[in-house]
Amino acid sequence: MIPRKQVFLLGICLSIFFFSIISKAAEAPTIPAGSKVYIAPMNGFETSLRAAIEKKQVPLQIVDDKSSADFVISGGAESQKASTAKKIIMGSWHSREEASINVANAKTGEVVFAYAYHNENSAHGKQSSAEACAKHLKNAIKSQ
């Protein structure tokens, strides 16, 4: 029969071992503040996103040369103007906006951040979706 003290110590050792494995698996890749990012073409949305990143003071350095970037931001956006029925029935002239961005490590291609935005009644169109993307990107960098 194994003494209780040894069983207890074995249990503690196993707990520490499994906790270290779980904590390493939970470590997410990060975007360090001050990193150089390249914003890939997104059918015009890249202009709105660049302006939003600057407006929201996201701590990233935007570069025009993809080869000098640490990370690449890609994605897309769609706008749908309010239909006549929506204007008449709901009294809303606001557009429907959808956008999504991915931030990937430029060297490994590993996606380190992703965000999707959807708004049925966007008052400011693409500007709203770009600013939401920038805000969440900034929060992800600050929370690290």
Calpha distance 17→14 (Å, rounded): 5
Enumerate domains of the chain plus CATH numbers. 31-142 (3.30.160.670)
Q: Is the pTM of this model over 0.85?
A: no
What averages of pLDDT result for each successive group of 10 residues across the chain (144 residues)? Answer: 54 50 54 95 92 96 95 86 58 68 94 86 70 92 74
CA quadruple 13, 18, 22, 24: dihedral sign: positive
The pLDDT, as a whole number, for residue 34 is: 93
The pLDDT, as a whole number, for residue 111 is: 94
The pLDDT, as a whole number, for residue 90 is: 57
Beta strands (DSSP E) in 40-131 are 61-63, 71-80, 95-105, 111-122
The pLDDT, as a whole number, for residue 3 is: 63
In contact, 98 and 118? CB cutoff 8 Å:
yes
The pLDDT, as a whole number, for residue 4 is: 58
Tokens representing residue 58 in the block: 């996201």
